[in-house]
């Protein structure tokens, strides 16, 4: 997270921090050597406060390092949390030649998280019970629809976009129904290098408020097919093989089924990400996210290069030209 202009308030320094793709605003609140983070979430308060606190508390009780909650004001949409600093694994990996050992440590944390028995109901603020939803096919379709609702209309008519969406959804729903592994695992949903922080010799986890109970392949997809950091196909393959080797849930009998799930969820997430970044551009005037779309297309096309995606690929190739996929300027 990058810092903005410093504001001096009494004996405190308040530094605006460059936020993420949500409506939240972040500030670093400094007094002497003490530093905390102020999170302002005037929109979607329930998700950003109630859910955030519930999920973090649940993870913390299972020995996963998440930010402590120091204080909150729900009516104003504000909470004060622990400052994990600026050393994200994105910053560590971006200039590192040998990346595999670092990725292995992130996979090890993911495997630790996946050993946790998920709960559908967790206690949160004010004694409220937060319900953790299942990552159902309905959720998967809703997310992949962001591609058809926000990306396609950037260069196709609404009528044509809806027609493509209808055809594609029939194919995608069939694919989602073919997922082999049960929705029985804690899924962070944004398990990527910018949400993973190095804190001394430990790894801290940020942005857990969107967690669901779902397929074990999803968070691995988020880590390996991460649009924010370009990696070689060889490295991505090595990270995947390491996960398969270390996971106690995967064996010779079900490894192929896991790989099928991985590819389906990679395509689903790829469509979702392109849709989200298009929405950020069109709705929120955040043009900076468009630069990631060409690389997301590169990852998507690699994962769709199997018989399972032949029909979907045919629709996409027919309606979206290569030059559009490579263009990050709309």
pLDDT cut 90: percent of the chain above it: 74
The listed range with the strongest mean pLDDT (1-15, 68-82, 301-315) is 301-315
Dist. CA 52–CA 46, nearest whole Å: 9
pLDDT per position as a tens digit, 178-223: 999 999 999 999 999 999 999 999 999 999 999 999 999 999 999 9
Q: Where are the alpha helices (DSSP H) in the chain?
A: 45, 52-61, 89-94, 100-114, 137-146, 158-177, 217-224, 233-246, 255-282, 293-303, 310-319, 322-326
Tell me the C-alpha distance between 13 and 4, whole Å. Answer: 12
Same domain assignment for residues 158 and 197: yes
Tell me the two tokens of residue 225.
């097919």
> Are residues 43 and 187 located together in one domain of the fold?
no
* pTM reported for the whole predicted model: 0.92
Tokens encoding 29? 């609140």
Same domain, 172 and 240: yes
Q: Is residue 2 in a domain?
A: no
Instruction: Identify whether 150 is part of a domain.
Output: yes
Alpha-carbon Rg for the chain in angstroms: 20
> Distance between CA atoms of 55 and 130, rounded to whole angstroms?
9
Domain that residue 38 falls in: 7-82
Same domain (yes/no): 219, 318: yes
Residues 130 and 270 in one domain: yes
C-alpha–C-alpha distance, residues 60 and 203, integer Å: 13
Task: Mark whether 251 and 108 lie in a shared domain.
Answer: yes
In a domain, 242, yes or no: yes
For residues 205 and 67, the answer to whether their CB atoms sit within 8 Å is no
CA pair distance 43, 45, nearest whole angstrom: 5
Q: How far is CA 301 from the centre of its chain?
A: 19
Q: How many domains does the chain have?
A: 2
Q: Which of 54, 82, 110 is the last residue of a domain?
A: 82
Pairwise CA distance, residues 242 & 158, whole Å: 43
Residue 113 maps to which CATH number? 3.90.1200.10
For residue 85, the model assigns a pLDDT of 92
β-pair type (185-187, 212-214): antiparallel
Q: Please give the Cα distance from 27 to 16 (Å, whole number).
A: 4
- The answer to whether position 142 is within a domain reads yes
Domain final residue, candidates 26, 50, 82: 82
* CATH code for the domain in which residue 30 is found: 3.30.200.20
Q: Which of 82, 116, 133 is the last residue of a domain?
A: 82
Q: With respect to residue 1, please indicate whether it lies within any of the assigned structural domains.
A: no
User: Does residue 125 share a domain with residue 77?
Assistant: no
Same domain, 93 and 222: yes
What band does 128 get if pLDDT is binned at 50, 70 and 90? confident
Residue 266 predicted with pLDDT over 60: yes
């Amino acid at each position: 997270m990058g810092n903005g202009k410093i504001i001096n308030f009494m004996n405190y320094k308040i530094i605006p921090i460059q936020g993420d793709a949500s409506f939240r605003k972040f500030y670093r609140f400094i007094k002497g050597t003490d530093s905390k983070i102020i999170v302002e979430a005037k929109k979607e308060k329930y998700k950003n406060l109630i859910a955030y606190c519930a999920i973090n508390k649940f993870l913390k009780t299972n020995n996963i390092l998440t930010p402590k909650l120091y204080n909150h004001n729900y009516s104003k949409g504000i909470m004060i949390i622990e400052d994990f600093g600026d050393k994200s694994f994105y910053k560590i990996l971006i200039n590192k030649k040998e990346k595999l050992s670092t990725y292995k440590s992130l996979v090890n944390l993911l495997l630790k998280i996946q050993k946790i028995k998920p709960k559908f109901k967790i206690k949160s603020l004010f004694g409220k019970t937060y319900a953790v939803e299942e990552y159902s096919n309905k959720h998967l379709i809703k997310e992949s629809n962001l591609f058809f609702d926000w990306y396609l209309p950037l260069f196709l008519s609404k009528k044509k976009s809806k027609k493509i969406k209808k055809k594609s959804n029939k194919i995608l729903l069939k694919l989602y129904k073919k997922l082999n592994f049960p929705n029985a695992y804690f899924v962070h949903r944004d398990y990527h290098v910018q949400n993973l922080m190095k804190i001394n010799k430990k790894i801290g986890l940020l942005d857990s408020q969107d967690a669901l109970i779902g397929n074990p392949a999803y968070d691995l997809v988020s880590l390996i097919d991460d649009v924010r950091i370009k990696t070689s196909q060889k490295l991505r393959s090595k990270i995947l093989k390491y996960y398969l080797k270390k996971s106690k849930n995967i064996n010779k009998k079900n490894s192929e089924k896991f790989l099928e799930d991985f590819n389906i969820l990679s395509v689903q997430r790829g469509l979702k990400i392109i849709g989200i970044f298009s929405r950020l551009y069109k709705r929120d005037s955040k043009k900076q996210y468009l630069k990631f779309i060409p690389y997301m297309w590169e990852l998507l096309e690699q994962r769709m290069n199997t018989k399972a995606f032949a029909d979907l690929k045919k629709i996409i190739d027919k309606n979206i030209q290569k030059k559009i996929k490579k263009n990050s300027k709309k």
